[in-house]
Amino acid sequence: MERWVIVNPAAGRGKVGRLSGAILKAARERGAKAFLTEGPGHATELAAQAPEGARVVAVGGDGTVHEVLQGLAGTGKVLGVVPIGSGNDFARMLGLKGLPWPEALERALFAPEEAIDLGLVNGEAFGASLGIGFDALVAKRALSAPPFLRGMPRYLYALFGVLKDLRLPEGRVRVDGEEVYRGPLLLLAAMNGPMYGGGIPIAPMAEPQDGLLSVVLARSFTRPGVVLILPRLLLGRHLAHPQVAAFAGREVVLEFPHPVPAHADGELLPESARYRAEVRPLGLRVVGGRAGARGREPLPAPVA
Ligand SMILES: Nc1ncnc2c1ncn2[C@@H]1O[C@H](COP(=O)(O)OP(=O)(O)OP(=O)(O)O)[C@@H](O)[C@H]1O
């Protein structure tokens, strides 16, 4: 079996860049082919070039995993992860977060593979998360924040910028063909894993092997309402809020009167007024640790 290691030197706010020489060397010493990405999109191209059946290891954060995934989805290739990004929610979902990189690399190259559900939105694959509405607006606004703002201050700047101009779009949500909501919509998350945004437990009940997307709707919220629910969200206690609803299904369709931003695994998607998300049960082969971040048993063997 061929083993490919794809290293994004821009991930982890430069940390991967500093480690990249050591990572490429370690990978090659273990018989793998190792590559540095040269810019956005390159990881997808490389992953697509790997031969059928290869194990392809993404070294970086959720953006790197998402790009590699686009080159693997629907093939017989296997995704491994060495999480050194700033968020790492995909690795968290697999129970891999916190491993020192040499151990994570060893595991990604040689540990047994497993199968998890694969998400698809408007034809694009996602591993852990899909967010439509407010959270994607914040991610989009963060891109244009002043360059001296980094990390959390950058997101707070973006968050309050979005809140200032908050106008909720009217959304129509269908889960498995049934309309579950029509009205003002703050956000919709369709999740394979429990967390997005670097550890925010938006869907604590999500399981990457249940063959379903866990859908969380935040319906009509005022500006103070958004501020007040944030601490509850960070603790995963938001589901009992009267304006929050949760569903599970294989297909979610969300329609708006105008295009609304969305992100998949934290990467902004082409803006659309209609999003259709579906799950391919156990449709992705990965090298995991254990499913979920809450100390579950190891994932079972892949299905044929
Ligand atoms: N050589 C490169 N130079 C600049 N950017 C790159 C390069 N290769 C990939 N990228 C881009 O780097 C971005 C960030 O990568 P990634 O998301 O993995 O890191 P991160 O932001 O630290 O992690 P996280 O998403 O977990 O917070 C990706 O969107 C990818 O397109």
Average pLDDT over residues 285-291: 77
178 vs 290, more confident: 178
The pLDDT score that the predictor gives to residue 103 is: 95
Supply the residue whose CA is at minimum distance from atom 2 of ligand 1: 39
| Whether residue 146 has pLDDT greater than 60 | yes
> Which of 64, 263, 267, 268 to mutate to test ligand 1, by most ligand atoms within 8 A of the CB atom?
64
The pLDDT score that the predictor gives to residue 81 is: 97
Average pLDDT over residues 154-164: 90
User: How far apart are alpha carbons 5 and 22 in whole angstroms?
Assistant: 13
User: How far apart are alpha carbons 233 and 235 in whole angstroms?
Assistant: 5
User: How far apart are alpha carbons 277 and 251 in whole angstroms?
Assistant: 6
Q: Nearest Cα to 116, choosing from 293, 291, 295, 294? A: 291
- Whether 114 lines ligand 1, by a CB cut-off of 6 Å, is no
Cα 11 to averaged position of ligand 1 atoms, centre (Å): 5
Q: What is the pLDDT of residues 252-282, one digit of tens each?
A: 999 999 999 999 999 999 999 999 999 999 9
Cα 8 to averaged position of ligand 1 atoms, centre (Å): 6
Name all domains of the chain by residue range, CATH numbers in brackets. Answer: 3-111 (3.40.50.10330), 126-282 (2.60.200.40)
Atom of ligand 1 nearest to the CA of 64: 18
The pLDDT score that the predictor gives to residue 184 is: 98
- Whether 154 lines ligand 1, by a CB cut-off of 6 Å, is no
Neighbours of 218 (CB within 10 A): 24
The pLDDT score that the predictor gives to residue 290 is: 55
Q: What is the pLDDT of residues 166-184, one digit of tens each?
A: 999 999 999 999 999 999 9
Strands 170-175 and 178-184: antiparallel
Q: Nearest Cα to 81, choosing from 46, 113, 105? A: 105
Q: What is the DSSP string of the chain?
A: --EEEEE-TTSGGGHHHHHHHHHHHHHHHTT-EEEE--STTHHHHHHHHSPTT-EEEEEESHHHHHHHHHHHTTSS-EEEEEE-SS--HHHHHTT-TT--HHHHHHHHHHSPPEEEEEEEETTEEESSEEEEEHHHHHHHHHHTS-TT--HHHHHHHHHHHHHHT--PPEEEEEETTEEEEEEE-SEEEEESSS-BTTTB-S-TT--TTSSSEEEEEE-S--HHHHHHHHHHHHTT--TTSTTEEEEEESEEEEEEEEEE-EEETTEEPPPEEEEEEEEEEEEEEE--SSSTTTT-PPPPPPP-
- Whether 197 lines ligand 1, by a CB cut-off of 6 Å, is no
Cα 265 to averaged position of ligand 1 atoms, centre (Å): 12
Cα 64 to averaged position of ligand 1 atoms, centre (Å): 6
87 vs 277, more confident: 277
Q: Does ipTM exceed 0.90?
A: yes
User: Above pLDDT 90, what percent of the chain?
Assistant: 85
User: How far apart are alpha carbons 300 and 304 in whole angstroms?
Assistant: 12
Cα 267 to averaged position of ligand 1 atoms, centre (Å): 9
Which pair of tokens denotes residue 153? 């201050």
